[in-house]
Structures are given as structure tokens and as C-alpha cells.
Structure 1
């Protein structure tokens, strides 16, 4: 894309979860950090659960994410996959000639800048193996200190923002105190608001994945 063009660059944010309210929240966060000249448009999966909490659901979401990307490719300049396991991202890159990023890979790349050791705090223990595999894919295994999980059922925590924030704060503390993390990612698109609220509470960087992905896709689209 020509960075001097008057047309806004259109970034498609795909929510692999099927909850429209989550898409609206993530788009609002993305717009708040997007560079001038960029517009963020959301698209929501319809065949996935309202919140993906298992490896099986994550894998099942990939085909629909790819379908959404193909359906919108003509009107988009870049794509963000807004679930932490980046479902469908590899397929999008194989099939579509547009810059595409995932919030999982983007946040890990940002967290590991300068060789910084990083951990992940999140709510979904059934996704542990998927999260643990991502640093290997990105060549960041030596920086990764592991993932810690908030205490409580993921769906119940999402219904109580104060409890969610407190539970994630506990997981962040463990990442720092026990694992030696020098930065902690809040691992999940639906956790976007909690991630921003947690950032001022810690002296180490708390990485919010949606802003990480926005910054990365802006760089790729304007390159």
C-alpha cells in the first residue's frame, strides 16, 4: 500500500470466537492504538463457541477463519487473527497475498524483543500445549518461561471483570516471581480489556496482544 495515499488502509480483525460483543471490544482496542490512516473492521465467526477454551475448538475454528479472510480479501489491506492460538493464520498466509498476523505470535515477538524472558498469563489450561508450541514455531524457546493460569473457570471469570482481573494478576505475579519473566503476555483476545487494566499494576511490561498485533500489521502494510 502507498503510505501517501488519502485512502484509509483497511485492516480486517477476525474474531474466531462467536461472540459479537467480544469482536466490538477488540475492534475498539485496535482502533485506539492504530496509526493515523488505518481503519479496523471486525468480522465474527459463527460456527465456533462464544469463547474458545480447548485445543479441539481452536483447531475447529481455523477453516472458518480462513473462509472469512478469503471473503474479505478484496476489501482489506491486512488481516489480524484475534485468538491467541492464531487459528487459520497459516492457511491465510498460504492462500492470500495480504499481510496477516496473529495476536499470539505478535505478542510473543514483542515480548521477546532484545532477548527478554517472557511468560504468558491466561485463563485456558486446556490450551497449554498450543501456547507452549508457539515459542518453538517462532524460535523463541530460550526466552519463554512458561504459561500460568488464572484460578477459576474461564467462562465464569469472563462474566465478572473484577474477578477476572484479580485472577489474572495472580497469574502474572507467579510468572514474575517464580518463573523469572521479564515481561508477561495476557494470552487471549477476549482478555483485551483486562490486559490494559493490568498494565499499570506491575513494574515489568504486561503485553496486551491486540495492540501488539496492530503495531505489527501497520508495519507490514506500510513497508
Structure 2
């Protein structure tokens, strides 16, 4: 099941930047290949947390998924914690997300917004406030992608908050995937410390994915968190089941809505 792989640098910011570059290299992208025309529509990716390096990484992943069809720009919510780990964090983040989204939607050429945190803070509020703008959340779209064709799925996350985990279960039921949902696996330890050590983060996530597949019967695994999208690309080669990259799922969903 597992294969040998290299790990990226240990510093979080360096890791995230390197992961973004690696994704582009693996996809065979180049500046010429991803050139955008002046009239290309713009999608704004809103990072609900205050980690600018995570914004950069997620924006790069979304752009790679979208190719040269749209321009994706990242915005960071500086009035939030650097890592959202509790429902209270989500509530705090939602205010900034809505403010950023409103401002972005008023900009010329902006066609869609992506809320890039797994609990989708501010998503419902933005949809209500901007009925003429495409607004997607990475959490919602990750569920849709994981459950495609009726397959069973689980979530792997680094945030152990019980209320947050329960919200994942509720979301699965709300979206009609209750019977396919196989539960949540949480990595051990302090998530804030874990994300500072990429090697340990990858190892912990891989172990949790293995448990979700072997013990829970998951046929797909959602990496439950926007900042976990880059690690998902690093460890995917170890598994036969798909690891759902939430950011990519949201970018593709936004493109589909724009084309309708």
C-alpha cells in the first residue's frame, strides 16, 4: 500500500511554497502553458485563516486545477487565527470572509468566490449577500467529490475539537451522504505544532488515511482542511484510493457553474 517518497523541507512556509511549486512541476505547467488572456474571468480564493503562506499554496493548487481558463487570486483573512481549529474560530473567521467576499465581488472581472476552509465559514452568508455571484466552499465540494458514484468516504483531519467533528457528520447528513460517510480520523497531538513539521504531518496523515481505508472501509478520503490540500498531493502516491483535494474540487466546481 505504501510507497517510498521524499519529504519536503521542515519549515512550514517553505513547505507550503515548495508544495505549490511541486504541483505545477508534476502537472507539466509552465508560464507559457498557463498564460491567461486579458479578459480571462477571475476567481477569488478567500483563505479564512491568517496564514498567508497557506493562501499562496491553496491559490497555486486551485490555479493548477483550473488551468488557463480563469485567473485565480488569493485573499487572506488577517482578522482570524492562523489555523482554524474550533467552531469559535469559524465564527470569528466568517465575518472577515464575508467582508472580503463582498469587496471582491465588486471588483471588475471577478466571476466567482471560493471559501477555502473545510468548514466553509461565511459561505451561506456570502451566497445570501451575493445571489448573482458564484460562491463555492471547499468543504461542501469535497463531500460531493468524495461521494461521487455512491462510493463510501471518510474524513482525515488534524483538528480534534468534538464539536467541529460533529459538524462534519451533520454536513454529510445534510448533503444526503449519511449512509456513505464512514467517519472521521484525527491525527494525534497539537495540530498547530504538527503543521510546523511537514515530515511528521505527512506521516500522521498517512497513518490516519490507512486506518480510514483499512478499518472503516473508505473508498475515498477527504483531507479535512484547506492547508491539508498540499500534503494530500504529497502522500497520494502511497494509496490506491483517491485523497480528495478540497481546493481542487472547489475550483472545478466553480468552473462548472460559470460554464452553465
- Tell whether the structures are fold-level matches, with TM greater than 0.5: yes
Matches within 5 A, 1:44-83: 44-75=76-107, 76-83=110-117
Consecutive unaligned residues of structure 1, counting only runs of 5 or more, are none
Aligned-pair RMSD on alpha carbons? Answer: 1.2
Mapped to 1, the partners of 2:76 and 2:38 lie a distance apart of 28
The residue that corresponds to 1:36 in the other structure is 68
The residue that corresponds to 2:119 in the other structure is 85
2:186 is the counterpart of 1:149: yes
The residue that corresponds to 1:136 in the other structure is 173
Q: Give TM-score scaled by structure 1 length.
A: 0.95
Consecutive unaligned residues of structure 2, counting only runs of 5 or more, are 1-36
Mapped to 1, the partners of 2:224 and 2:118 lie a distance apart of 6
Provide the secondary structure at the position in 2 that maps to 1:14: strand
Alpha-carbon displacement from aligned partner over 1:70-116 (angstroms, at most 9, x marks no partner): 01102210010000000000001111021111111101100100110
The residue that corresponds to 1:198 in the other structure is 235
Alpha-carbon displacement from aligned partner over 1:110-168 (angstroms, at most 9, x marks no partner): 01001100000110011212222211221111111111001221011110111000000
Alpha-carbon displacement from aligned partner over 1:7-36 (angstroms, at most 9, x marks no partner): 111001000001111101111111111132
Provide the secondary structure at the position in 2 that maps to 1:8: coil
Mapped to 1, the partners of 2:56 and 2:233 lie a distance apart of 16
Matches within 5 A, 1:208-223: 208-223=245-260
Number of residue pairs matched by the alignment: 219
Alpha-carbon displacement from aligned partner over 1:21-66 (angstroms, at most 9, x marks no partner): 1101111111111132200011111111001011111122112111
Q: Give TM-score scaled by structure 2 length.
A: 0.82
| Larger Rg computed on CA atoms | 2
Provide the secondary structure at the position in 1 that maps to 2:106: helix
Deviation at 1:6, TM superposition (A): 6.6
Mapped to 2, the partners of 1:207 and 1:156 lie a distance apart of 24
- Structure having the higher helix fraction is 1
Provide the secondary structure at the position in 2 that maps to 1:142: coil
